[in-house]
Structure 1
């Protein structure tokens, strides 16, 4: 495939950024005093390609990347819905013969975001939030099942081979691959409120191993991450024999992080009020409960598996002071484990900008609504 001028320019710039990375003060993989093999990157998810329809994406303003870097953060995760970079008819469900219809012009938009982040010294984690045959969000009609069908697995590996080849020239210190977002099996894939649970670990191991081998065949040093099972929260020691780090979540307890979230509760207004510590029956959930929750992840770190928290934060319906009290404890526990974090979105309902909370006095930040208390809580971890 012939590269366009913009694509060539990107690869040249990426190579220069990678070469220059060794000259920057950086939390190196070789730090001997840290037990966690992964750097404690701290930053945000960017949702430019989160929608399957590229016209409904949420573009990251150039100033956002600048502010993330200026405020001292060093990480962005880019969750991608794979149809967003395909040339397909989006008025109907995708067909098996269309899942590899890569659209170069749309791929170059991903390139541009990756390039901007790298130029500002940020580590980029590229994630398939919706992959061929699976998405944790209900309502998508996939032509097959990633966890069961060989055809889906082959398409999944083909996507990762494309990304691996495309970014072969970028150092693993600047770019990692997060295989698939939050493995989960739902009884009814078309109902967001349908019950479900973890993917069979045998199936998860098979899928992760195949994708890992595909990526490593292109660039052996590429850092690859697997999300926790059961929606991201369950550590997967069964993957420890693979050259994979793992990504946990910072949403425990869920009644606080997703208070009155419409995609979680059928009747959000019936949800009882929350406080922190959280009283559940005779039990009071506090920071020690959070430590217990993360104990399996700490065990992975002790076993030599790198761990990062790829998503965390709180929906904007949780009272602000409750959110800050609870999340301060989450950040404290992650810090104790030497685990970094990625807040779910920079600007939006979970973000430090434009969250839409009704109980916050926002600071006017160049025309954006800044939650200063939340930002300072995060900066205190840097």
Structure 2
């Protein structure tokens, strides 16, 4: 797919989407069919559990992001948060399409607040009907095996596309499903994972695209990389769908001692950057090698964005910053934007809980000024 056709089809030119950031496409030497979005993941609807969200995004959060020069937020959502069902029981297929209009309204209001401050919003199903990369919630079926789950998946995206039918590509895009993969046991966080068969991923993505576009033919759609976000999806290169990579390689650095990655966090080897970890040598060159397929996709007209990146709070801060600059600078060389996981919290620039840095007081929050400066640089 040629970049010109992708832009025309997705309406990015007429929508006037900004290519904001320190590096323009021309300066970077590579033209990317997706904008140079730079921002954060916001976790207001990330957890499937019902109840009040005391740590929800505020008007001030959006203002600060915009004032600091960012232009993008991604909302990874768990679908049980915006449907009605008996939370004392496992969710059933009959529950999955019982949309809670009040919660849907709340999500739309959140989008409007972000848009008010000039931030593009990516709506993402982090937990889709029948699939989530994370365990801990019992799904009634499997998105990659069951037709009923796939039909529910399309219905959810149809609902969101209809709700935002009048919104431009400058305001919103739709990120189909977070980090698709197979897993031997959906309820075991540590079970073996692998890529979705390419033809199956194409079928699901194509039908979701068609469903979304039926409500607005210019809606912008993005698909996360296969195999937990790591792999480019060549099977959909001909479709009008952008692709989203990840900025976590290698996990030795990004997820040092993270309890959902290491069954025994004490087994995690101490990260360094650059240098040798667990018998493997890592450097900026290994980062370049890792992203080669994504860079080639950009060169061939596929829009690419890094929908998640960052580092768990246990990694030594100076190691984190050294590694992370290599990651986002390699992406920036090809005009690939990024979204830090997250804004406030363990990976974030505010209230991360890191123990080896001197925070700056920021309106009652603890600001990691060094990390903020690094993000602003790219």
TM-score higher than 0.5 here? Answer: yes
C-alpha separation in 2, matches of 1:101 and 1:198: 30
* Structure 1: unaligned runs, 5 residues or longer: 1-20
Report the CA distance between 1:32 and its aligned residue. Answer: 8.3
Question: Contact 1:148–1:203 at 8 Å: present in 2 too?
Answer: no
Other-structure match for 1:264? 261
Task: Map 1:1-382 onto structure 2 (within 5 A).
Answer: 26-27=18-19, 33=26, 35-55=31-51, 57=53, 58-280=55-277, 283-381=280-378
Greater Cα offset, 80-89 or 272-281: 272-281
CA shift digits 1:172-200 (9 cap, x unpaired): 12110000000011111111111111111
Distance (whole Å) between structure 2 residues aligned to residue 361 and residue 317 of structure 1:
15
Does the CA-based 8 Å contact 1:54-1:85 persist in structure 2?
Answer: no
Query: Which structure has the higher relative contact order (CA within 8 Å, separation 6+)?
Result: 2
- Distance (whole Å) between structure 2 residues aligned to residue 32 and residue 121 of structure 1: 20
What do residues 359-382 of structure 1 show as CA deviations (whole Å, max 9, x unaligned)? Answer: 01100001000001000111111x
Alpha-carbon separation, structure 1, partners of 2:93 and 2:247: 35
**Aligned residues between the structures:** 359
Distance in 2 (alpha carbons) for counterparts of 1:102 and 1:187: 30
Offset at residue 270 of structure 1 (A): 2.4
Asked whether the equivalents of residues 17 and 35 of structure 2 are also in contact (C-alpha less than 8 Å), the reply is: no
User: C-alpha distance in 2, partners of 1:23/1:163?
Assistant: 19
Gaps of 5+ in 2: 1-12
Distance 1:24 1:146, change over 3 A: closer
Contact 1:228 1:246 in 2 (8 A): yes
Secondary structure class of the residue paired with 1:348: coil
Distance 2:25 2:335 in 1: 13
Seen in structure 2, the aligned counterparts of structure 1 residues 22 and 66 have a Cα distance that, compared at 3 Å, is: farther
TM-score where L is the length of structure 2: 0.92
- Rounded to whole Å, the distance in 2 between the matches of 1:227 and 1:102 is 25
* Structure 1: 4+ residue segments shifted above 2 A: 21-28, 31-34, 280-283
